[in-house]
Amino acid sequence: MFEQCPRRWRFRYVERLPDPPGVPALVGSFAHLVLEALLQEDPADRTPARARTLARARWPEFEADYDYAALGLGEAESREFRWKAWKAVEGLWALEDPAGVEVVATEEKVEATLGGVPFRGVVDRIDEGPDGMVVTDYKSGRPPSLRFAPKRLAQVLLYAAAVAEYMDRMPVKARLLYLGQRVVDTPVTEETLESTVESLASTWVDIGTACAADAFAPRTGPLCNWCPYAANCPEGSADIERRAAERAAQEESLLRMAG
């Protein structure tokens, strides 16, 4: 978040303004819950039918949770939410057969010091693959284009670095499973881990510098449209308005050309 926009980071982690999860994040959370339970079953029982039973069993508790309740969804919206979550769960079979996965751990809490930075995270899954240990993170959003894949992989590579330190064993692969879509992965090597950890350490230094000077520059751009703090941020609000006006002008000129 700090790399995306230091100002947003300040709102979230210094001012501690609320950032409630929206529907897409919670759909992902529910799918994670079901997949975590599924991968704890015996391999032969990891079937879509079993996943459905697990989803039904976990739904009442999830539905009663504050974050979900805060969405205030009506009956039809709630049905759509469950349908999306089920599509994400079912999407696992499009990528791999869970019955063939040798699970080492699911939802593993890892703590490590990486490049001098204290790091804590929850790894969705650690498997034993044919060539060694694999660190996997589930994703329910859209997979990145080739250009943005390395940035997305940085997070799971940090998990791989933490797992290497925490379990004293080097993983061989880090994967993002975009449920129902595709797998984005990378081999884990000393070099990839080193450069990922260096980048974390450099961001850590930048955070320290920004905190010492209380200087958190806004980094405006298309992501401002999804920023929960846009109303608190004059630069971001102005950028959103400017881009909306540009879009409206483009649409008007296209309409004129078509007319």
- Residues of this chain that interact with ligand SF4 (CB under 6 A) are 5, 7-8, 218-220, 223-224, 227, 229-230, 233, 235-236
User: 19 or 63: whose CB is closer to ligand SF4?
Assistant: 19
CB atoms within 10 A of CB 81: 18
SS3 label, residue 233: coil
Q: How far apart are CA 42 and CA 249, in angstroms?
A: 58
Comparison of 72 and 222: residue with beta carbon closer to ligand SF4: 222
Is 121 or 236 the residue whose CB approaches ligand SF4 more closely?
Answer: 236
CB of 224 to ligand SF4, least distance (A): 3
Q: How far is the CB of 214 from ligand SF4 (least distance, A)?
A: 15
Q: Which helix (H) or strand (E) holds 123?
A: strand 117-129
φ, ψ for residue 45 (rounded to 5)?
-90, 0
Structure tokens at 139: 């994703």
Contacts of 44 (CB under 8 A, 6+ apart): 99
As a whole number of angstroms, the distance between CA 38 and CA 54 comes to: 7
Residue keyed to tokens 């699970």: 103
Instruction: Between 181 and 232, name the residue whose CB sits nearer to ligand SF4.
Output: 232
| Nearest distance from C-beta of residue 8 to ligand SF4, angstroms | 4
Cβ of residue 138: shortest distance to ligand SF4, in angstroms?
Answer: 26
Tell the smallest beta-carbon distance from residue 238 to ligand SF4 (Å).
9
User: Looking at beta carbons only, is 5 or 207 nearer to ligand SF4?
Assistant: 5
